[in-house]
Amino acid sequence: MSTTTNLLILFLILFLSSCSEKETKEQTEKKAKETSPPAQTPAQESETKQEEKTDTVSLLLRGFRTYSNFSLADYLQRGVEVVFDNSNHPFNIIQLIDYAKSPRQVIVKADSFDNWNVRHIITLGARVVVSCKSFTPFEIQAFIDAAQPDQKMNVAVIGCYCKPQDILEFVKSGAKVKVNKLQEPFHIVNLIDAGYKYHNKPLVDVDVEGFGSLHVKEFIRRGANIFVSGWYPGFNVYEFCRISNNVKKGKVWVFGNKYSLKENKRFLEQNATIFIGKDSSGTGFNAFEVAEIIQKNPSKVVVIGDFYQPHEIAKFIELGAKVVFLYRYQAIHHLNSYVYQTPPPEPPVLSQKNKYGYYPPKRGYNYLHRPSPNVNLDLYKLFNILY
């Protein structure tokens, strides 16, 4: 009798536990249904994917005068960075800043601009590049003072033609300065230390071509941002990147065209930023090599895309690299495809007929990307827009 009662009790316990498990399962399913979003149709899914793509595009464009203000305003709304120079009217630049997601998307090389226009652009929050060749130290100091307290770094001063004491005052005020071999290493170290002493920020960018490796390593340890244009052997550059990755203060930018595919991958392993591209003569990495480099660390690769084909540029953007156009005009329909991340339009396929019969179809010649012997990559121009 006792055994049967024990079995009945055990059966009741198991039955009740199974019922409670069913209830908990039903409750969790109900909660999941309540919290889960409604199912989307394939069309809605494609729309959401397209919205995600357009928000993540990383593109920097030189604002040639041939681009309409409507196009530039649309690109700024999509998050594209635009570089303006004295070929653009200041009034147009001031208007376009309002269309950007962030005013920092607008970079202005302000040489030959009026002082009041430069000051107005700075107060709106855009980034401005000035030099002592075009403005006096007093005017540059006024530009820095016009910026908001947390936006002093938006003013970048090219210190090639400035006196060391003036550059030091700019750094103390919070501006970013760009120096090269024209400045003594001792003065550069003082500038780096002043940036961290007064603002705890890396405010000094150094084009290190011409400096000894020991000086460059000291700049990195102090916390400078350095730009390597190919003057050093690959192993030395790897050492620069490794030290910077350990110190974790400044950045290392490397012009990767001067180094091999394997060396560029090693630089990326140490979190350096790589600039790669082709010039008008066709020298540089081909599209397959660029794609291989991007896959190593997409967020640290910047592709100079002026001399690549549209479908190649679209692939670079899809892989997650940043693409810059600084040296030549790009067709609007190609730019639209990059910004909206839609397939670029293909050139027309032609088929010719004559008395000998039909020629096989051939691609139409793309005159837009015809190499121009007068256009080469200007590293100084590239260094000036780095932030």
Among 67-71, 222-226, 265-269, which is the least confidently predicted range? 67-71
Q: Please, which residues bridge with residue 362 across strands?
A: 350
Q: Average of pLDDT values for 89-102?
A: 92
Q: Which of 104, 101, 62 is nearest to 84 (CA)?
A: 62
Residue 242, pLDDT > 50, answer yes
Q: What is the DSSP string of 254-315?
A: EEGGGS-HHHHHHHHHTT-EEEEEB-TT--B--HHHHHHHHHH-GGGEEEE-TTS-HHHHHH
pLDDT-derived band at 326 (thresholds 50, 70, 90) equals confident
Task: Please give the pLDDT value at position 387.
Answer: 64
Q: Average of pLDDT values for 211-215?
A: 92
Task: Please give the pLDDT value at position 54.
Answer: 43
pLDDT-derived band at 111 (thresholds 50, 70, 90) equals confident
Q: Which residue has the higher pLDDT, 230 or 241?
A: 241
Task: Please give the pLDDT value at position 27.
Answer: 54
Q: Average of pLDDT values for 266-291?
A: 87
Task: Please give the pLDDT value at position 333.
Answer: 81
Q: Average of pLDDT values for 25-54?
A: 48
CB neighbour list of residue 356: distance below 8 Å, 6 or more residues apart:
none
CB atoms inside a 10 Å sphere around CB 134: 17
Residue 367, pLDDT > 50, answer no
- What's the rounded Cα separation, in Å, for the pair 178 and 196? 16
Residue length of the chain: 387
CA distances from 196 to 135, 176, 204 (A): 26, 12, 10
Among 53-62, 135-144, 210-219, which is the least confidently predicted range? 53-62
Residue 306 half-sphere exposure toward CB, CA atoms < 13 A:
23
CB neighbour list of residue 133: distance below 8 Å, 6 or more residues apart:
111, 158, 160, 161
Q: Which residue has the higher pLDDT, 248 or 380?
A: 248
Task: Please give the pLDDT value at position 344.
Answer: 75
| Percent over 70 (pLDDT), the chain | 75
CA distances from 343 to 5, 340, 350 (A): 75, 9, 20
- What's the rounded Cα separation, in Å, for the pair 122 and 116? 10
In this prediction the pTM is 0.76
Q: Average of pLDDT values for 100-113?
A: 91
Q: Which helix (H) or strand (E) holds 178?
A: strand 176-179
pLDDT mean across residues, the chain: 80
Q: Is residue 31 left, alpha or beta, with left meaning phi > 0 and alpha meaning psi from -120 to 50?
A: alpha
- What's the rounded Cα separation, in Å, for the pair 328 and 289? 23
Identify the burial level of 81 via C-beta atoms within 10 angstroms of its C-beta, where 0-12 means exposed, 13-18 middle and 19 or more buried. Answer: buried
| Percent over 90 (pLDDT), the chain | 48
Rg (CA), the chain: 28
Structure confidence by residue, pLDDT tens digits, 154-197: 999 998 888 999 999 999 999 999 999 988 999 999 999 999 99
Q: Are 313 and 345 in contact (CB under 8 A)?
A: no
Q: Average of pLDDT values for 253-267?
A: 92
Q: Which two tokens stand for residue 43?
A: 């069309």
- What's the rounded Cα separation, in Å, for the pair 76 and 81? 7
Residue 67, pLDDT > 70, answer yes
Task: Please give the pLDDT value at position 341.
Answer: 78
Residue 79, pLDDT > 70, answer yes
Task: Please give the pLDDT value at position 355.
Answer: 46
Q: Distance from first CA to last CA of the chain, Å, rounded?
A: 87
Task: Please give the pLDDT value at position 12.
Answer: 42
Task: Please give the pLDDT value at position 177.
Answer: 94
Task: Please give the pLDDT value at position 158.
Answer: 92
Per DSSP, 360 falls in state P
Q: Which two tokens stand for residue 170?
A: 């700019």
